[in-house]
């Protein structure tokens, strides 16, 4: 997951052997989400998934508990403003920030 709340997670599994073609089925909470002939499932939200692989002879292999997690939401927990001393333009604004998609935050101030 690139950011909290986005549905851009993915699962990519593959099978090989003499019993192809394979069918790949994706489940979440025992609910069938998608069935396809390749093991790439994308545009997924955070959650716990299961992939069932079935070969041409209907033999199956189950991959349970595939967990897609997302980063914490961006949280601004404290903002402090210290006004400038008359005519010195030395005021400050500080903010405590955590979470989000990166630890490299960019701040912009607009008048």
Contact 107, 10 (CB under 8 A): no
CA–CA dist 9, 37 (Å, integer):
19
pLDDT at 41 over 90: yes
pLDDT attached to residue 29: 92
pLDDT attached to residue 53: 97
Q: What angle (nearest 5°) sits at the alpha carbon of residue 7, between those of residues 2 and 10?
A: 75
CA–CA dist 31, 33 (Å, integer):
6
pLDDT attached to residue 65: 96
66-106: pLDDT as tens digits: 999 988 888 888 888 888 888 788 888 888 888 877 767 88
- In sequence order, which residues have a C-beta less than 8 Å from that of residue 72 and are 6 or more positions away? 4, 98, 99, 100
Which of the four pLDDT bands, split at 50, 70 and 90, describes residue 40? very high
Name the average pLDDT for the chain. 89
* Percent above pLDDT 70 for the chain: 98
Q: What is the pTM of this model?
A: 0.71
pLDDT attached to residue 32: 97
């Amino acid at each position: 997951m690139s950011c909290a709340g986005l549905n851009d997670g993915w699962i990519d599994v593959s099978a090989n052997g003499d019993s192809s073609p394979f069918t790949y089925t994706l489940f979440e909470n025992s609910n069938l989400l998608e069935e396809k002939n390749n093991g790439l499932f994308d545009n997924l939200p955070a959650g716990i998934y299961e992939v069932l692989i079935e070969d041409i002879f209907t033999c199956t292999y189950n991959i349970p508990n595939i967990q897609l997690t997302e980063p914490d939401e961006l949280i601004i927990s404290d903002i402090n403003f210290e006004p400038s001393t008359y005519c010195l333009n030395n005021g400050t604004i500080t903010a405590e920030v955590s979470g989000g998609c990166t630890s490299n935050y960019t701040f912009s101030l607009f008048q």
